[in-house]
Structure 1
Amino acid sequence: MIHIKEVAKQTKITVRTLRYYDQIGLLTASSKTEGGHRLYSDEEMKKLQYIQFFKGMGYKLQDIKDILSDSNWNWPNSLKSQLAYILEEQERLREIESSVRELMNGIAVEGGDEWLAVQKLIQLSSQNKKRLLTFKENGFNEKEIKLWTKLPKMKGEDPDSLEWIALLGQIKRYTKEDPASSRVQNIIRRMLEKQMEEFKDENEFINKLWDLRKSPKQSEKLGLYPIDKEVLDFMERAYDIHISCLQDSSFEQGEES
């Protein structure tokens, strides 16, 4: 017979937990010392191992009690049911993780305004997720539909998506500044660098995407995260300034040569 304190030491289960198991009839000690301390037999230690094993698999205590008390328990069916539960739980947690990541990224895009991010994500979640028909209705060909998959994702955790999200958040933060300021122009320059990295020689696709992005109605149909018109207009002005500066620089270099 093994003293309750020794059982707790061997199994890393607290004495309090062992007493609770006894109270609910899950694991009852077969005898006690003269001082009233519980003593466990080898059979009860074996049963305790089952309890630990099933707890680690996610079974509830009442379910474990039913399993151990039923000599005709159908093990294959029980394990299949538990596996199905675990897979459903994993899917639920993946969805929660995705929603948390999306909200974090939304807050970043909105420059820290969590309420605005929540409002926009609620709007986004209510939209139809099957967009292939919408793509074709808007004149996207098969190649452009594939290019669409390379766009940054609000639920993404990849470095490219996170950098785009950070750049959008910075742009929104500086919309009260002069779009020609060095700070804003540095952001636009980095955006154009990233655009070239992913969509080199795809100007037709980029221009089409930008036109759709500027239309709230079309953006909504395509499931794009809503960006305020003020921010889009500011980005366009900053972009025009950036391109103009590049052209002026090229012209000056041409004259010098």
Structure 2
Amino acid sequence: MTMKIKEVADIAGISVRTLHHYDQIGLLCPTSTTEAGYRLYTDEDLEALQQILFFKELGFPLKKIKEIIESPSFNRREALELHQKMLLEKRRRLDQMIATVAKTIQHMKGDIHMSNKEKFAGFDFSQNPFEQEARERWGNEAVDSSNVKLASLSKDEKDGFAEEMNALYARLAALRHTSPHSDEAQAAIKEWYVLLNRMGNYSLDAFKGLGQLYISDERFTKNIDQFGEGLAQFMCEAMGIYTNNHQK
């Protein structure tokens, strides 16, 4: 059984333009075309599309997805099992975030009292869900160094580090309506730079690039702005200013 591109787009919930793009970059090429030039997709093509969309949902760039699925060692079942584990972890964190939002609403109404630690339950920045992007931008050394350092920490040390990061996010959020040039903003963003280098090896250029990623990648923006709308933009500007002021 074959399907035309519009049928596939409707089933998958994506646009025809997206499927055209996947075909153009060689990520998903239809098995055949009609004499009139219409693309025809088979069940196997739809299975490949499902796999692509799973990878995409987990934040993999299209270039990396193509590289993975074209590898001779690629095993679709193993990949699906890994997707399942990652999505379950994602659901766990979302459930925790939803619970935190609900408790915060109750706290605002005066129904319950939340400790400062409870206010940030679910904001776990000790793990980087965007590791692939970091590797592609700044190489493996910085990321591997970070992973080694984190792996060497005990659970209590990791929890403490996450709390420290969350506290600094909250402090920066309180400053986000001030000038990123201000002494207070620059002092806080310096602490952010120092904190990042405690778990990795970030040059000033990498630090500035990370700030730009905060606003160019909606996933970063969404996570950071949970501490306060506009925080990602503020941090990006402050990180750029800090870099410019400290480069020789």
Between 1 and 2, higher relative CO (CA 8 Å, sep ≥ 6) is seen in: 1
For the criterion TM > 0.5, the same-fold answer is: no
TM-score of the pair, normalised by structure 2: 0.39
TM-score (norm 1): 0.37
